[in-house]
Structure 1
Amino acid sequence: MTARRRSPKATVLAAAASVVCVSLLGGCGILPGEAKAGNDPITVMTWAPEGTKATNMPGMPAMAQAYARWVNADGGINGRRLEVITCNDHNESVSAARCAARAVKENVVAVVGSYSQYGRSFMSPLEGAGIPYIGGYGLTDEEFTSPLSYPVNGGLPALVAGNGRQLAAGECGRVSLVRPDTAAGDQLPNLLNAGLRDGGAAGAAPAVDVRAPEDATSYRRSAQQALESAAEYDGTTGGSRACVTAVLGGRTDTFFDSFRRLPDEDPSIRTASVLGSVRQSLIDRTGGTDSPLEGAYATGWYPAASDKRWDPMKNVVREHAFGDNRIDTDDPGVQTTWIAYTALRAALRSMDDDSAVTTESVRDALDEGDAIETGGLTPRLRWHYEDLLAAHDFPRIVNTSVTYQRVREGRVVPVRDGFVDVEKTLEGGASTPSEA
């Protein structure tokens, strides 16, 4: 398990207004990531890819900006304005590194509610400056190993492990997994197989690993491979059904459209995916009850988008986003940004009103503070050492809960109440569902 690192505490001396500061640069400076005590703003950053040929998440920075407008209209946080800087990582490692470098240059106290596939590019600069990374989307190893990362969900590991358990409960004896041919995609087959095993499909064969390009405009070849693998199943091991699950982010609908267009497509094959790949706006856009995703299972981090626990977020979007059509409140990226900023606000409000807000004080509030309530959207969040996961690859996961949903009559609806805990699956042992 990764041990926590803390930098030595820095002492900040507040100078009287009449004192003239002199430095080598000829001005009064502040430590990196520090907003001086008083009414100075608290500056943070949110980044995500926009305008690319692969996955785009423009709603996340838009949600961050709406959140800041809401908070500031209500007096700020402890009397300070919340200022959000946004950055486009373009789904490129160089751009991700540039966003991190800009965060350091702008003296942000945290990067919050962000999406990037390039943890190796962005985490090192953040660690060098001591900047906490709160509520990443959960795509990279670094998000679950860095002591400066504070994830609010279990990321793709929890989703895929949970998807395996959901498919096992659906009597899937043979599963084809269609996933991106990327480093992040390489870890998914083992997680899905662990979920299948712990969900009761102990006799099932390992999932068939179907690699697919991340930015394809058609997935006919991958769909044909998945179909042929499913068609070979004779129903004799682990379950009565053949199933196909796809985890392709924003391209999942493209895959299932290709799958449904196959001339020999078998309607008895059960389909599945994870939330983010399946959301209500996508179902509506692709035909409602006639959508190629009709009947599909979906595993998510949070309650269904129709749940009343999302009403506070929807009210903020309605009143402070000013019709910004980038924000889809059904999108797990937008939802993750909301929860990440909820965690940041709670951590900041736990500080004394006259305390300096620095990268270190934010980390201390998260490392040592009370558990954070998210209005029932997640279990209570706390990142104390004893809360970390006993898993070598994912020690920073503190929220191992998922939800089961399904597309029925054109709507994404919950399959069961409460959360399912996949902690033991992620740790590599047997596990059982638990209600939150």
Structure 2
Amino acid sequence: MTVRRRSSSPGPRGLLVRTAVAGALLVSGCGVLPGTSGGSRDPVTVMTWAPDTTGPETVNMAGMPAMARTYAAWVNDQGGIGGHELRVLTCNEGDTALGASKCARRAVDEDVAAVVGSYSRHGRSFLAPLEAAGIPYIGGYGASPEEFTSYLSYPVNGGQSALVAGNGRQLAGACERVSLVRPDTLVGDTMPALVDVSLTGAGRPAAHDIPAPEGATSYDAQAAEALREADGGCVTAVLGQGTETFFDSLRRLGPEDTAVRISSVLGSVGQPLIDRTGGRNSPFEGAYVTGWYPEPNDARWDEMRRVIRSYAFGDNRIDPEDTGVQTTWIAYTVLRTVVEAMDRPEITAGGVGVALNRGARVDTGGLTPVLRWRFADMVGSAAYSRISNGRVTFQVVRDGRLVTDRKGFVDVSETLVDARLRG
């Protein structure tokens, strides 16, 4: 039978038909996005999960599985990955341990080659089923600490720990005094040491540590303490979704002529939040922000933006300036590089894991340093044994846009190790 491959530049009608077919197959939060035939080679089936929820204490990262399906539509229009059709299963993780476990068990049942570009705060619940089945976890968002210790995890960034360590480095060069507002949790308890290594190393006093409850509706008490202790220096807050609420409290309490400078990390503050709170009139104007990747307007994101425009038109879940969407794009870049290098008629989870462990080299076009996951590439700390990319970027909000504060990547790998020893 002769298989006709579709044009790489389909017209609007072709795109609408493909989108309608894909939508019809996506049911109950999980679905398969069909693509073009991979010829005689078997399809590569993978899964991407993330919470698609609403509520004051839940996380919504629906753009990540939507980006995964968009990537599959694009790559399949080019003939697949090394001749393999890419089939993407998606699952609504629900931001719960039970939901994460169900998605992982479904991945096992479907015999996926990898879980790619996903988000979950419940690493203990999803990694055990994946490890039992030998399924690699490629490019998770870094929302759970277990992602940085599991032998089957291949992270593309250094997670929140790298961001917090980098934030300390960024503030050490600009702030005489720092107030750190962080969650009153076990994870939050690790943050002061990550910040203080760089502050004290630069001759600054250690940050004033202010634990705060997650999901609070007001942070007036913490904001007042932060302003008082910063004494005209910097206030940095890493509270996830609560960060906006904290800085709203800070804005109400602080006089308009206060000299305090604010700061945070991507994931707690990002371009979508800045846009939503007023752009250049946002309370985040002038804020220091530490990230994993280049600024949203960097030319290195141009290909991703073109793919989103062509294959995800009208899908408002996919924001190219969202860090989750960006992470999914990078994770699928890893998958594509590895599968093409394997050059086999059948791609299995075991084969993908072996290729990664043997030193598959992934060039992400400058969105990250070159990625590899050999033992020699790891940070070398028991707490972060799977981090191979300990680099961050320094950004600042200027005229309502996140822009580069310092060119290039800043390596905080040693800071991660030193903070662990200090903690």
TM-score range, shorter chain: 0.7 to 0.9
Distance 1:182 1:166, change over 3 A: same
Partner in structure 1 of residue 236 of structure 2 = 245
Within 5 A, what are the aligned runs for 1:130-149? Answer: 130-149=134-153
Within 5 A, what are the aligned runs for 1:281-292? Answer: 281-292=272-283
| Structure 1 counterpart SS, 2:262 | strand
Distance 1:251 1:110, change over 3 A: same
* Alpha-carbon distance in 1 for matches of 2:308, 2:185: 34
- Shift in Å at residue 264 of structure 1? 4.8
Counterpart contact for 1:52–1:91, Cα < 8 Å: no
Partner in structure 1 of residue 294 of structure 2 = 303
Query: Higher helix share goes to which structure?
Result: 2
* Alpha-carbon distance in 2 for matches of 1:90, 1:158: 26
Which letter maps to 1:228? R
Partner in structure 1 of residue 368 of structure 2 = 378
Partner in structure 2 of residue 330 of structure 1 = 321
Partner in structure 2 of residue 51 of structure 1 = 53
Counterpart contact for 1:143–1:149, Cα < 8 Å: yes
| 1:230-269 C-alpha deviation (Å, 9 max, x unpaired) | 24xxxxxxxxx52111112233222212210115576211
- Shift in Å at residue 279 of structure 1? 2.1
Counterpart contact for 1:347–1:369, Cα < 8 Å: no
Partner in structure 2 of residue 418 of structure 1 = 408
Moved over 4 A (4+): 263-266
- Shift in Å at residue 112 of structure 1? 0.7
Partner in structure 1 of residue 228 of structure 2 = 228
1:84 aligns with 2:88: yes
| Structure 2 counterpart SS, 1:138 | coil
- Shift in Å at residue 147 of structure 1? 0.8
Partner in structure 1 of residue 162 of structure 2 = 158
Partner in structure 2 of residue 391 of structure 1 = 381
* Alpha-carbon distance in 2 for matches of 1:79, 1:322: 26
* Alpha-carbon distance in 2 for matches of 1:190, 1:383: 26
Counterpart contact for 2:116–2:137, Cα < 8 Å: yes
1:404 aligns with 2:408: no
Length-normalised TM-score, structure 1: 0.83
Partner in structure 2 of residue 28 of structure 1 = none
| 1:278-328 C-alpha deviation (Å, 9 max, x unpaired) | 222222221122211111000011110110000011011111112210111
Which letter maps to 1:184? V
Counterpart contact for 2:362–2:372, Cα < 8 Å: yes
Counterpart contact for 1:139–1:184, Cα < 8 Å: no
Counterpart contact for 1:271–1:296, Cα < 8 Å: yes
1:343 aligns with 2:330: no
| Structure 2 counterpart SS, 1:417 | strand
| 1:106-161 C-alpha deviation (Å, 9 max, x unpaired) | 21111111111111111111111111110111122211111100000111111000
Q: 1:42 aligns with which of 41, 44, 68?
A: 44
* Alpha-carbon distance in 2 for matches of 1:315, 1:136: 23
Partner in structure 2 of residue 357 of structure 1 = 347
Partner in structure 2 of residue 104 of structure 1 = 108
Which letter maps to 1:289? R
| Structure 1 counterpart SS, 2:99 | helix
| 1:164-207 C-alpha deviation (Å, 9 max, x unpaired) | 0100011x232222222333323222211123234x1x341x32
Structure 1: state its 5+ residue gaps.
1-35, 232-240, 430-436
Counterpart contact for 1:191–1:426, Cα < 8 Å: yes
* Alpha-carbon distance in 2 for matches of 1:42, 1:168: 46
* Alpha-carbon distance in 2 for matches of 1:37, 1:118: 38
* Alpha-carbon distance in 2 for matches of 1:103, 1:322: 28
* Alpha-carbon distance in 2 for matches of 1:418, 1:292: 27
Length-normalised TM-score, structure 2: 0.86
Distance 1:183 1:106, change over 3 A: farther
Q: 2:268 aligns with which of 265, 272, 277?
A: 277
1:167 aligns with 2:171: yes
Counterpart contact for 2:227–2:254, Cα < 8 Å: no
Partner in structure 1 of residue 259 of structure 2 = 268
Q: Alignment identity in percent?
A: 59
* Alpha-carbon distance in 2 for matches of 1:148, 1:38: 29
Distance 1:51 1:266, change over 3 A: farther
* Alpha-carbon distance in 1 for matches of 2:236, 2:400: 19
Distance 1:214 1:38, change over 3 A: farther
Counterpart contact for 2:393–2:409, Cα < 8 Å: yes
- Shift in Å at residue 420 of structure 1? 0.9
1:313 aligns with 2:317: no
Counterpart contact for 2:68–2:332, Cα < 8 Å: yes
Task: Between 159-168 and 400-409, report the one with greater CA deviation.
Answer: 400-409
* Count of paired positions: 381
Structure 2: state its 5+ residue gaps.
1-37
Counterpart contact for 1:42–1:109, Cα < 8 Å: yes
Which letter maps to 1:39? R
* Alpha-carbon distance in 2 for matches of 1:67, 1:73: 10
| Structure 2 counterpart SS, 1:143 | helix
Distance 1:417 1:203, change over 3 A: closer
| 1:28-87 C-alpha deviation (Å, 9 max, x unpaired) | xxxxxxxx9943321111111221323321111111111111111111112221111112
Which letter maps to 1:339? I
Counterpart contact for 1:253–1:293, Cα < 8 Å: no
Q: Over the residues paired in the alignment, what is the CA RMSD in angstroms?
A: 2.0
* Alpha-carbon distance in 1 for matches of 2:99, 2:124: 12
Partner in structure 1 of residue 193 of structure 2 = 190
